[in-house]
Each structure stands twice: as structure tokens, then as C-alpha cells.
Homo-oligomer: A and B are copies of this chain.
């Protein structure tokens, strides 16, 4: 992604050296890249980032890899080989940020710990993301997305009321941690603008799952009532869930007394708002099953789209349950350039998700930076670093 000087991204001029692989780390550096940073992706010589092999592969390019690595520059460096390590050190001397997502201890063994690098590169912000973090009794354990979704309580509140366990269908264990890592980096960049000093950021995927549980911990701690999976229902609000119509599901969120009165009037069931079972928010929550039956009796009389236009006209928060194909055709997402395009070096095009952080003076481009081949930018990176093309 190039940006004209008239519209610099907030992180324009920031250089990120990214030795991360697969998802949590690459997601963080993608977010930073979308905000204007230059990301130099350091990959293992040979096959590079593991995710280059993850299917589905189209025209030789992994869709998984393309989705989070578009717009980055790639250089292959062997972190154990002296010559390549010297290049890494020279890169770090000119960089703002180093990101890594090895198991805790690996960077230490490579002689690339924060303690080792900080005295040499006092400006450097050093960001780590791992399954359980750099400290604590679980620090050496391996984790992948589903392990932290399970151990972090996320699966204990997701899925049907009496079904087998369900995972959040996106890798929220990885991308949640990646987003918090990007947040840590930008806050450290701001702090460095005042102190001149870098910081070390230590993100645990498990911590981030707990941080995303919002009020569940406080609620349980205060009441002893255990949050459980509730299908599409909200633990505290009703109606706030999916309902069946004559032909398909829709969701309705009429969470306060005013919206509930308007909603019941809109569907011709104004008497429900007078029913003592459903009078106040707490009443509706207590009697949500009876309320669901009453509402579905009425919604069953018309199609989803009929109800949606009727409810939208009345300003009731509602919507269809849309799949990924629907997103591709949505006018709102198109207007906000949330479905963008990238291409690989062979010209194969891929659709990718855009940047959700819209910020003034920095227009989104519908075309995102290309998917890098392994080591594609070696010449460009070394020339920028050493002022001459690299030896052949």
C-alpha cells in the first residue's frame, strides 16, 4: 500500500520487523500495516511462514496466508545463521517495532530476547504474543486458538443451551490477541514519542479471551450465577435473540422498555407490553421463554423480509443472519470498503477484509498491497538498508 503524502496513515513512517508466523502475530502486523506502517516480514528460508502451506491454495497462493499478509514485504532470513542475523540486527537498528510469536524462551535461545536487544536498540518496541504469556505457571505450554477459547471461558458461554461444546467460528483466540498486540504497540509508540524509549509488550492469548468476556466475570463474582451457553440469547436482555419467521431467521434487539413497547406495537401485539410477565426488563428476562413463544407465534405469519422492512421502518434494531456470501454483496460494507482486493505476484486476485479503523485524512484504498512471495523484497530491503544492491 502506498499513500500519497497528502493522506498519510497515522503510522506512516513506522517500520515493523515481523518474525511472527501463522495468525495472531501476522494479524497484528496486518492491522499496523493498514494504519500506514511498513511491515518487513522475516520468514524462514525454504518454505517460509507455515501458513503458506495452509489450504485452500489457489494458483499456488494460500488464501489463509493472503488474507493476513497482503501489503507486507518478505525477506527470508535464517535466525541461526551469522550472516542473516547480522542483517536482522541492521534492520532492528533502523526499525521501530519487532514482533514475535514464538513459544516463550525461543527468542532467548536465539539471543534475541528483549533483555539482549533493548540496550542495543533503546528505541525498539518489542511485542510478543504467545498462548499464555511470558510469565506464570503455564508459560511453557503450547496453545492454539481452540485451547485458549476453551481455557479462557469463551466456549463456556457460546453455543446452544444443551448441546455439545461450540467454538466461536472465527479464530477469536488469535485475532483478539493480535488486536490487543497492535493496541499495545501503538500505545508504546505514543509513549516513546515522549520518552524516546521503547517498551516490551507481552500479550497472552488466554488473557485476551478473558478480557473479551465483558461483564461475565463481575456478574459471576457478585451473584455466584454461572454464565452458560444460551444459543442466540443475551444473558441479561430480552428480547435480544434470533426468532423464526415464516421462512427464515431474523434477530431483534428490543432491549429497553421504550423499544419493547414500540416493537410489540409494530407487530400488532401491543398487549404484550402491558402483560405483567413482560413489564420490565427483569420481568422479560425471567420469562424469556414465554416471551419467545408469543413473539414467534406472530412472526410465523410473515416472511423474514416483510418483518425486517416493517421493523426497520419503526426503528427497531433488527437484522437478517447473513453468511459470508451475503457480506460480499452488502452495500454498507461496499460503501465503507470493507471488502477489498489484493493480488499475488502472478496477478491472481483475492478478496480480503479491509481496515475497520476509519480515520480522517487517510482514505482507504479498494486495492490492498500485494501478497508477497517468499523473499520477494530481499533486494529492495537490503538496498534501502545498505544503500546498494545486495551481493548476488
Mark contacts of A93-118 with chain B using CB atoms, 8 A cut-off: 1 yes-contact digit, 0 otherwise. Answer: 00000000000000000000010000
Q: Which residue of B lies closest to A323 (CB)?
A: B156
* Cβ contacts under 8 Å, A142 to chain B: 315-317
Per the bound structure, the CA–CA distance linking A285 and B55 in Å amounts to: 10
Q: How many residues of A contact B (CB 8 A)?
A: 158
A322, B156: Cβ atoms closer than 8 Å: yes
* Cβ contacts under 8 Å, A64 to chain B: 215, 218-219, 236
A350 contacts which of B177, B222, B316 (Cβ < 8 Å)?
A: B222
Per the bound structure, the CA–CA distance linking A165 and B248 in Å amounts to: 11
Copies in the assembly, this chain: 2
Q: Is the interface of A mostly helix, strand, loop or mixed?
A: mixed
Chain B nearest Cβ from A282, distance in angstroms: 6
- Whether A81 sits at the interface, judged by CB under 8 Å, is no
* Cβ contacts under 8 Å, A366 to chain B: none
A359, B188: Cβ atoms closer than 8 Å: yes
> Which of A147, A194, A210, A324 is the most central at the interface, judged by chain B CB atoms within 10 Å of its CB?
A324
Contact flag A360-B199 (CB < 8 Å), given A211-B353, A335-B137? yes
A227, B11: Cβ atoms closer than 8 Å: no
Which 4 A-B pairs have CB atoms at the shortest separation, nearest pair first? A157-B169, A221-B351, A193-B193, A136-B335
* Cβ contacts under 8 Å, A172 to chain B: 168, 172, 212
- Whether A303 sits at the interface, judged by CB under 8 Å, is no
Q: Which of A200-220 contact B (CB under 8 A)?
A: 200-204, 206-208, 210-220
Q: Which residue of B lies closest to A244 (CB)?
A: B164
